[in-house]
């Protein structure tokens, strides 16, 4: 059976800062805060880019929730790939 994009239930995540990679793996959802408030990203989310602040929370398929506090960062979502860059300002 061929798996299509619409069959995917998880997101591929890469979270990094200036020092290196903080998290790389799969997650069922990502939550954070931008200028309009709290938001969540799930599988098949529309392409999206935003400046984020306060925190980013990752919920993995095995039920683990990981929250990373932050001052400011950028989140980019494209075709179930989520890239987060933290500490973009000095």
CA of residue 66 relative to chain centroid, distance: 11
H or E stretch including 37?
strand 37-42
Predicted TM-score (pTM) of this structure: 0.85
What the block records as the tokens of 76 is 């980019």
* SS3 category, 60: coil
pLDDT by position in tens, the chain (length 90):
555 555 578 999 999 999 999 999 999 999 999 999 999 999 988 899 999 999 999 999 999 999 999 999 999 999 999 999 998 665
Instruction: Provide the CATH topology of domain 5-75.
Output: ATP Synthase; domain 1 (2.60.15)
């Amino acid at each position: 059976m061929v798996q299509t994009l619409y069959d995917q239930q998880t997101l591929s995540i890469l979270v990094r800062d200036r020092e290196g990679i903080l998290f790389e793996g799969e997650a069922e959802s990502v939550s954070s805060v931008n200028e309009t408030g709290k938001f969540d990203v799930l599988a098949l989310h529309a392409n999206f880019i935003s400046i984020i602040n306060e925190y980013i929370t990752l919920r993995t398929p095995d039920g683990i929730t990981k929250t990373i506090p932050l001052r400011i960062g950028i989140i980019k979502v494209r075709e179930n790939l989520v890239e987060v860059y933290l500490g973009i300002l000095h």
